[in-house]
Amino acid sequence: MKISERRLVRDLRKLISIESYEDSQKISRWLRGKLRRLGIEASFDEDGNIVASIGEGPGFMLNAHMDTVGPGRGWKRGPFTGEVKDGRVYGRGASDCKAGIASMLEIARILKKKGVRKRVVFTLTAFEEGYTLEKNGIYKILMKLAGIEKGIILEPSSRKGKIGIAVGCRGSARYRIEIHGKRGHSAYTPPGNNPIYRFPALLERVRKVRGRSMKIGLIRKRVGERLTVTQIFAREGANVIAGKCDVTIDRRSLPDEKPSEFFGRMKAICDESLKKGYTLTQESGFQGYLFVDRKFLEACKQSAREAGLEPLPYFELARIDASVLYNFSGIGTYMMGPGHMEQAHKRDEYCEVESLVKATEAVLRAVEKWDAEPAS
């Protein structure tokens, strides 16, 4: 059954027009109605997370997240218009991750009409963009995913005739460091009470951190951990010494390390640079993952080639929801989907129509290859 470019573009434009950067309730309602019209019933929870399936028996999961980051300013084209120009569909979420949702709808339509031997599960989740584990949509629906053998996360990974296949990702954790000072008038308060003056020592210590690295055999490359200062806030009046200086540090860890294991190292860095007079808090933490299934990886690569795309297995440096699935339910997934990760969160974000069509075909072929295998 042929994939419809017209329908893919139409659905993507509609998805872009539904704002979903504050919550996903509105887009969830639209998607549930769309699935119902395809003859696929779906369950959902209070956040709008959707679980739908066709067939019975062992399961294969497809996943994409419904939420986006905010639109931001400075767009040349409206962030919610879904404008189509020069082979691209523009708008917030065009690549991350509404193109993946449009692909899932087209795959669901085809598989529903064609029929499947096993079970294909479609999950559409909320609160993927920068939330805690407890709020994360895929984490909240784990209990509904019993019997899933493997799957594909349709995050953006394709562009100009190529498609990335992420075999794993780094973990992420964020730390808030409150450097204590003494609030007072700038004309009278001693410099030693200024918490901003203490920040450079912490910054320099973080810059000198030389993290571990490990070789990823599936891609024959080494990847390393990373520690980055991302926020500093100490705003008071222009003539007032701040009583505290808040610093956010972003941690990207290797897949063999639990986020809790780094807390002691982070505290040692603070002790060395700040000595005392600070409070350290870990605000979030996701472990990375590495899924080794060479047979499944080869099937994904072959599916990409059959769709006219060059497969490029790689290790994702950002965190993706595949890590939650693997670490909490043992469900192994690879990430491949339409759109390009470099477009994520940018002004004038877009997805190439060619990428949308070919990546959809690649994922569909991967599902069909799994469905054709004898049940385990």
CA 30 from centre of chain: 22
Question: Mean pLDDT across the stretch 285-298?
Answer: 96
- Alpha helix (H) residue ranges in 38-144: 98-114, 137-140
Whether the per-residue pLDDT at 376 is higher than 80: the answer is no
Determine what percent of the chain is predicted with pLDDT higher than 70.
Answer: 100
- pTM of the model as a whole: 0.92
Residues 297 and 213 in one domain: no
Residues 91 and 212 in one domain: no
Between CA 192 and CA 94 the distance in angstroms is 50
- Residue 132: pLDDT band with limits 50, 70, 90: confident
Residues 211 and 348 in one domain: no
Residue 255: helix, strand or coil by DSSP? Answer: coil
Domain C-terminal end among 254, 286, 318: 286
**Side chain identity at 41, as an amino acid letter?**
E
Between CA 368 and CA 327 the distance in angstroms is 26
Number of domains the chain is built from: 2
Whether the per-residue pLDDT at 130 is higher than 80: the answer is no
Q: Is the CB of residue 124 less than 8 Å from the CB of residue 50? A: yes
> Could you list the residue range(s) of the whole structural domain that residue 97 is in?
5-169+289-372
Whether the per-residue pLDDT at 5 is higher than 90: the answer is yes
Residues 266 and 297 in one domain: no
Domain C-terminal end among 286, 311, 336: 286
